[in-house]
Structure 1
């Protein structure tokens, strides 16, 4: 059950919705944010330098992508853990409740992947946002709430049972939302003085407009790495704020509310820049640990297996830190004649651990715990 705010929809407006600001005419107090801005840009540049040094980021950073999907979905109320998602993808059956949560998490990751690939032929735009939303909501809770379509009715945000009069926030009317989205899309391609400030405004305005009946928070968080990637600030769309936002949830909502209450962006932008600084440092640390683990495991697996397919084994367990033997046989690139021996060698040398022995047609389930421990920090 979702445990944070709930979105309600009605056909009749009872209270005046918020009137969005025009972003292109936003008057920003640059002097009030310059101290954090320089630090945030420096930390992001350091992180991107690390990303660019990684030879195979698709393999090494795969668990971080899944963990972001877990944490972003957790903000919306899902309860599944990283390990449970990985077990599900390794074809281990989960409870019916967890299956629903896990599918939402997998859809989040799919939406990010699809958007990244679409950026080759489509700019970051309202069209791309709708496509992402359709992927996000496919076959999960909220699939009946107009996937891929902007809302056509008024909504409001508040605690369960609240009305428009007691709501925490009432987003713009449909007409103002449509106009606001057009302004928002133009601002994405505007040459702002600093792209991190621009990103802070883009994320906040999207949440304020609340253009979908469900999934606004997740789409807003996916936009963060996509924008950084699209602006060539990072070389891979692997920079996530969900961990920080989840741990500072009240401050996050208060900073957003300050925009709509006072019309000032300063407190929000400062909050967002602090989040970037904090997360960039954590991402740097985790990525360095993952790279170091990869290098140390390379030596261990070569020693344990004495096989020309040692790197195949290494890349597979980093890409799939929870897996079953059947998937290893099919996808590792190790010949079937050698696969069982290599699995046994890695288990005997405590590189991987069997957490569920196979029997009959059921494959054995393995886990590569050191990687999961790093990602779960």
Structure 2
């Protein structure tokens, strides 16, 4: 199989008549979600469970096996062993890469340099850390069954000799005038995956770029729209539509699939955000009544930011004096709001979980 040669962008051969019926509903669904997002005073804190969930699901597409609660428990100090630690660290790195890029976009647009920075963070000290973190590949790679030769591969990305040219064309397309931003983000994501510029981590970087691009284009007020839930649950079709581009030049079927993903994920995200906001309002009343303190909202925000934590970490992150914070935690435990995962022993702090938030974000009982 010969290396794939990416098609030039923008594409002049899109089936606009076929796509236009999906463009309106997709933009409307995303606008409704963004309107809700803009009503959240501090989305990075209040909706941090969604970011954790995205990191888990995007990594799961690549075979990582760890859950949201395991990641939070690990960060709170619960010990894991073997492959599980590597899985968790990959998820933590995904979240770090998203934060890095979000902060960078306040000063500059998405560039190849930023993509390389994201990749360096993503691959730091995890499986694949020997595969040139932060550097575009200089070797030919291919995708297929384990141990297959290039001739047996299902897909061979572009030759490294032309890789930089393809990447520069991809970067230029990010600022091109496309007839619709959602169509453009669909094309941007697919082209990145087909160029496959890194030795490892291409799928995760490509999915990270989706909310970042929408944020850059001001389609979203903050980069908190995640598609990995839909893409993971439709994994076979996701890859089939990408293969349709490389094998048949079928961009329209890919874009149609992507726009449907936006519609469904926007609805799902909207429902989940509303559930989280309702929980926040309910807990605001309960915690205010329980603590009868000016610190009630600070307590609540600290719980939402990290719903599994050591009691000593809660004191540090909240900034509430220890002699005040620890009685608050005791009252929340007695009220059934917090649940112990590990009791205090000697100098070792207790580990507590805000179970309602975890279950709400996941849409099922995880603790």
The bucket for the TM-score relative to the shorter chain is over 0.9
Structure-1 separation of matches of 2:297 and 2:6: 53
Tell me what 2:3 maps to.
17
Structure-2 separation of matches of 1:345 and 1:121: 44
Structure-2 separation of matches of 1:24 and 1:291: 40
Tell me what 2:317 maps to.
331
Matched positions, count: 363
In the TM superposition, what are the counterparts of 1:1-377 in structure 2 within 5 Å? 15-377=1-363
Structure-1 separation of matches of 2:163 and 2:355: 46
Contact 2:10 2:178 in 1 (8 A): no
Q: Give 1:344 shift.
A: 0.8
What TM-score do the two structures reach when normalised by structure 2?
0.97
SS of 1:144's partner is: coil
What TM-score do the two structures reach when normalised by structure 1?
0.94
Contact 1:20 1:176 in 2 (8 A): no
SS of 2:143's partner is: strand
Structure-2 separation of matches of 1:236 and 1:126: 21
For residues 18-68 of structure 1, what are the alpha-carbon distances to aligned partners after superposition, in whole Å with 9 as ceiling and x for unaligned? 111011354211111111110000000001100111112121111111111
SS of 1:366's partner is: strand
Deviation >3 Å, runs of 4+:
none
For residues 250-308 of structure 1, what are the alpha-carbon distances to aligned partners after superposition, in whole Å with 9 as ceiling and x for unaligned? 00011011111111211000000011111000110000110110000000111112222
Q: Give 1:178 shift.
A: 2.0
For residues 229-261 of structure 1, what are the alpha-carbon distances to aligned partners after superposition, in whole Å with 9 as ceiling and x for unaligned? 000011110011111111001000110111111
Structure-2 separation of matches of 1:25 and 1:323: 49
Contact 1:152 1:174 in 2 (8 A): yes
Tell me what 1:7 maps to.
none
Structure-2 separation of matches of 1:57 and 1:75: 25
* Aligned CA-pair RMSD: 1.1
Structure-2 separation of matches of 1:366 and 1:25: 52
Structure-2 separation of matches of 1:331 and 1:351: 19
SS of 1:198's partner is: helix
Contact 1:122 1:128 in 2 (8 A): no
SS of 2:134's partner is: coil
SS of 1:68's partner is: helix
SS of 1:28's partner is: coil
Q: 1:26 to 1:211 in 2, by over 3 A?
A: farther
Structure-1 separation of matches of 2:299 and 2:65: 31
Which segments of 5 or more consecutive residues in structure 1 lack a partner in the other structure?
A: 1-14
